[in-house]
Structure 1
Amino acid sequence: MQVKETQNEGLKRGYTFTLPAAELAAKVDEKLKEAQPEVEMKGFRKGKVPMALLKKQFGPRVLGDAMQEAVDGALRDHLESTGDRPAVQPKIEMENGENWKEGDDVVVNVAYEALPAIPETDLSGIEIERLVVKAEDKAVDEALANLAENAQNFEDRRKGSKAQSGDQVVIDFKGMVDGEAFEGGTAENYPLVLGSGSFIPGFEDQLVGAKAGENVDVKVTFPAEYGAAHLAGKDAIFETTVKEVKAPKKAEIDDELAKKFGAEDLASLKAQITERLEAEYQGASRQVLKRALLDKLDGLYSFDLPEALVEIESGQIAHQLYHEEHPDDHGHNHGEIEPTDEHKKLAERRVRLGLVLAEIGQKAEVTVSDQEMTQAVLRQARQYPGQERAFFEFIQQNQQAQQQLRAPIFEDKVIDHIVEGAKVTDKEVSKEDLEKAVEALDEL
């Protein structure tokens, strides 16, 4: 295979690969000879089919395979010898493809953008600030109060009291559509919190003001998009008997409340809340630290970027932002979305930082373990209840999906590696200051 350079400008590379006809013919003959001992054909014993007949019968297919193998092998050898790493799949075009005939040389044009060389940079001098927030007693008390509210009990109201929004009513009901009861529309001793929105719109409102022992005909219309198609949009009457009216009562913040949430006593529950709050603060603090570190890295590195990667990334950014701005548009029939200069600028930053982190991670021998991947798959699978098996199979069979899960894990491990070698100063701040710092991330 003869290789001739046709372009070497910046990161763009172009080459012409020429496979002489004689060399191609020799490869075809070699493949046919390898296959000849196993070929069976009517009128000939196994392995005795003449080469001329083999070439006539299988030559075109073998010719195509030989061409492909020759070009793939030449490109592989070329990349190994030059050290080039294409940013995206190389573009390969055969000259005179439609007019090519057996006996002609095979001439292929190969074009790609090479990944840039990442300059060596000393990262040990990076100085960065880490925000630290301690869980204050006030925050712990607020969390306890929320738990107590969620764990509220209900006590019987005084006899003859009217039900109020927020009360719990214990009811028997029987649903009727067109005068006939329907499946799933009947229950006894059902505890319903008025105002919870757990029943069909309008149902709970009609029980406000009812008393224990009263019968109420609740008239509602099922929503047009109701899950049961035979009920969607239908008018219904629920013959309802109010058996009890109970007022909400917050649970006491004591050892009994702690036991309801799996703690031994109130002190243990407070310790668990403190630990959870500080873990949340640490997660938020890491977001701020990561952005600050990426800003530092972005200022430290400067090199040419592959146009193809920037174009792909800017297109993805434009598409993502379009759907964020048009949440009701779930399809992809919106036509082409032209990236703006702002999208391109953000894409350049992402591509640059992605290449930098990949280079740092490779040199530091950062890897993603099978256990880390399994945990990532399990976390993702929880978003598809009842379809976990199908999700696992999809991930196993889809390399791109695996890479999408692996990439953020790899990036976080590289960030940790850089932070370990940097000069990090802890700064204790309030919860409010941390929240402002996190909110500022969305403004950049």
Structure 2
Amino acid sequence: MKVRAEQQGKSKIKLTVGVEQGELVPHFQAAYDELAPTVKLAGFRPGKAPRKMVEDALGITRLVTRGLDMAVQRAYAEAVQQEKVFPVSAPSISVTQYPSWGLSKDEIKDSLEFEAEVEVFPEVELGDYKKVKVEATKTEKTADKDVEKVLHHLQRQKSKLIDTDQPAEKGDFVEIDFEGEHKGVKLDKMSSKHFPLVIGEGSMIPGFEDNLVGLKKGEEKTFQIKFPKDYHDKELAGQDAKFTVKVLQQKKVEKPELNDEFAKLYGHDKMSELKKAIGDNLQMELDHKGEHELQEKVLDKVLPLLKVEVPETVLHREVHRLMEQFDAQLKSQGVDLDSYLKSMKKDVAAFEKEIEPQAERNVKIGFLLGQIVKEQGWQGNEAEMGERAMKHLMDTVVKKADSNKE
């Protein structure tokens, strides 16, 4: 087998591969042995008919195609190994010379020649990151008010809804239909049917829930309100709007007392134990948050020391991974990506462009950690090596905060 490698830019290589007739024989034979048993010929058991009859039944084109698939796959793998190429994507293959069919060297006319263009692991240069220093910050501590907030959320989960004919108050549960108008036009995104909420919990824009106080089941109300300036929908941010609301259901919320009996509902004998468990979980979340923020600070300092040309295929793959991840998050909230993009007046191409910087950063982080693994001479599972490299980077760069300082 003959192989010629040509550099096509910093992260792409073209392999020109030639496979001689004798080298094709085992692949063509394997193709024949695979396909022959699929032919049913009267008077013969599968795979036992004369070769000429089998070839006529299958068609030479089918046999050659299968044989070449096998030959190209094997030859490409050997060429990559021979030239010490490290692909990061599937190759683009074009056959430039086709051989004829045959099961011996003499039968096959012409050799197989093909070109394979493939993006490869780029050259990576990493500056002296050991000179970089990042000051560690003290971890944020859980506040009592955060524990109380979780407790009240658990309390709401165990609350009972009691029918009432009294005017709605803050803390009451209501189910409403509402329609919103902006500049005299009713908008679907400002309207909903059978929408549940607890008055005063702030699930709607400021001022909306205040207008529900005093209403009874079956009553309607129309009111003017202004969207917050920082509202996520830029079309509505800071704008005046009109809403018409009808109360479909109204119930008093009967909350259980926060005592030891309540704690037992969540697997603890005493309220103090439940509070401690909540506090520990919240502290764990804060620790993870602080660690992540510190990692981001370190990466912000070290990534500029990395020189690498990101292969397009790798970048596109990461863009699509981020899109799928975002789509999954939206679906968990009952929204799909198409609906989200329509509401934001964007198309897929624009959204891909928007997340491309984050995708490029993610890919560069991968190359950074990979280079550290290479420099340290470590070997092992890719995920484990990545974690080890990040720990090494943090241990090297982070300057521990003085524990005596407040």
What TM-score comes out, normalization by structure 1 length?
Answer: 0.54
Q: SS of 2:350's equivalent?
A: coil
Q: SS of 1:275's equivalent?
A: helix
> Could you say what the CA RMSD is over the residues aligned between the two structures, in angstroms?
5.5
Per-residue deviation at 1:331? Answer: 11
Per-residue deviation at 1:273? Answer: 3.7
Per-residue deviation at 1:425? Answer: 0.8
Residue 112 of structure 1 is matched in structure 2 by 118
Mapping of residues 55-94 of structure 1, within 5 Å: 55-58=55-58, 59-94=60-95
Alpha-carbon contact 1:113-1:308 (below 8 Å) kept: yes
Per-residue deviation at 1:108? Answer: 1.2
Q: Which amino acid aligns with 1:4?
A: R
Q: SS of 2:366's equivalent?
A: helix
Residue 140 of structure 1 is matched in structure 2 by 144
- 2: CA distance, partners of 1:33 / 1:193: 68
Q: SS of 1:327's equivalent?
A: helix
Q: SS of 2:340's equivalent?
A: coil
Q: Which amino acid aligns with 2:117?
A: A
Give a deviation string over 1:312-371, Cα, whole Å, max 9, x none.
5568779979x999835289993643976x866655433222222245468544648xxx
- 2: CA distance, partners of 1:360 / 1:248: 58
Per-residue deviation at 1:57? Answer: 3.5
Give a deviation string over 1:35-59, Cα, whole Å, max 9, x none.
8899874345777633333443444
Mapping of residues 353-392 of structure 1, within 5 Å: 353-360=365-372, 364-365=378-379, 367=381
Between the two proteins, the alignment pairs up a number of residues equal to: 329
Return closer, same or farther for 1:82/1:21 CA change in 2, 3 Å cut-off.
Answer: closer
Q: SS of 1:337's equivalent?
A: helix
Give a deviation string over 1:186-244, Cα, whole Å, max 9, x none.
xxxxxx997489xxxxxxx999487xxxxx8x368xxxxxxxxxxxxxxx998x9x9xx
Return closer, same or farther for 1:115/1:219 CA change in 2, 3 Å cut-off.
Answer: same
Residue 400 of structure 2 is matched in structure 1 by 425
* Aligned equivalent of 2:293, options 271, 278, 288: 288
Residue 185 of structure 1 is matched in structure 2 by none
Q: SS of 2:400's equivalent?
A: strand
Q: Which amino acid aligns with 2:368?
A: V
* Aligned equivalent of 2:137, options 131, 135, 158: 131
- 1: CA distance, partners of 2:312 / 2:38: 49
- 1: CA distance, partners of 2:44 / 2:115: 42
Residue 276 of structure 1 is matched in structure 2 by 281
* Aligned equivalent of 1:415, options 361, 373, 390: 390
Alpha-carbon contact 2:4-2:15 (below 8 Å) kept: yes
Q: Which amino acid aligns with 2:151?
A: L
Q: SS of 1:426's equivalent?
A: coil
Q: Which amino acid aligns with 1:356?
A: L
Return closer, same or farther for 1:330/1:17 CA change in 2, 3 Å cut-off.
Answer: farther
Alpha-carbon contact 1:129-1:427 (below 8 Å) kept: no
Return closer, same or farther for 1:118/1:345 CA change in 2, 3 Å cut-off.
Answer: same
Residue 201 of structure 1 is matched in structure 2 by none
Residue 170 of structure 2 is matched in structure 1 by 166
Matched, 1:13 2:9: no
Return closer, same or farther for 1:164/1:106 CA change in 2, 3 Å cut-off.
Answer: closer
Mapping of residues 215-294 of structure 1, within 5 Å: 218=218, 251=257, 258=263, 262-294=267-299
Matched, 1:349 2:395: no
Q: Which amino acid aligns with 2:289?
A: A
Alpha-carbon contact 1:92-1:109 (below 8 Å) kept: yes
Return closer, same or farther for 1:55/1:297 CA change in 2, 3 Å cut-off.
Answer: same
- 2: CA distance, partners of 1:47 / 1:250: 77
Q: Which amino acid aligns with 1:264?
A: D
Q: SS of 2:365's equivalent?
A: helix
Residue 172 of structure 1 is matched in structure 2 by none
Residue 207 of structure 2 is matched in structure 1 by none
Residue 105 of structure 2 is matched in structure 1 by none
Residue 347 of structure 2 is matched in structure 1 by 334
Per-residue deviation at 1:278? Answer: 1.8
- 2: CA distance, partners of 1:26 / 1:250: 77
- Unaligned 5+ segments in structure 2 are 102-108, 174-195, 202-210, 221-245, 328-335
Per-residue deviation at 1:89? Answer: 0.9
Q: Work out the percentage of aligned pairs sharing the same amino acid.
A: 18
Give a deviation string over 1:380-409, Cα, whole Å, max 9, x none.
xxxxxxxxxxxxxxxxxxxxxxxxxxx7x9
Residue 2 of structure 1 is matched in structure 2 by 2
Give a deviation string over 1:274-319, Cα, whole Å, max 9, x none.
3233212212201211102222331332233324334555687799
Q: Which amino acid aligns with 2:88?
A: A
Q: SS of 2:81's equivalent?
A: helix
Per-residue deviation at 1:63? Answer: 2.0
Q: Which amino acid aligns with 2:122?
A: P
Q: Which amino acid aligns with 1:92?
A: I
Alpha-carbon contact 2:129-2:397 (below 8 Å) kept: yes
What TM-score comes out, normalization by structure 2 length?
Answer: 0.58
- 2: CA distance, partners of 1:249 / 1:39: 75
Q: SS of 1:132's equivalent?
A: coil
Q: Which amino acid aligns with 1:293?
A: V
- 1: CA distance, partners of 2:38 / 2:348: 54
Q: Which amino acid aligns with 2:288?
A: G
Alpha-carbon contact 2:147-2:278 (below 8 Å) kept: yes
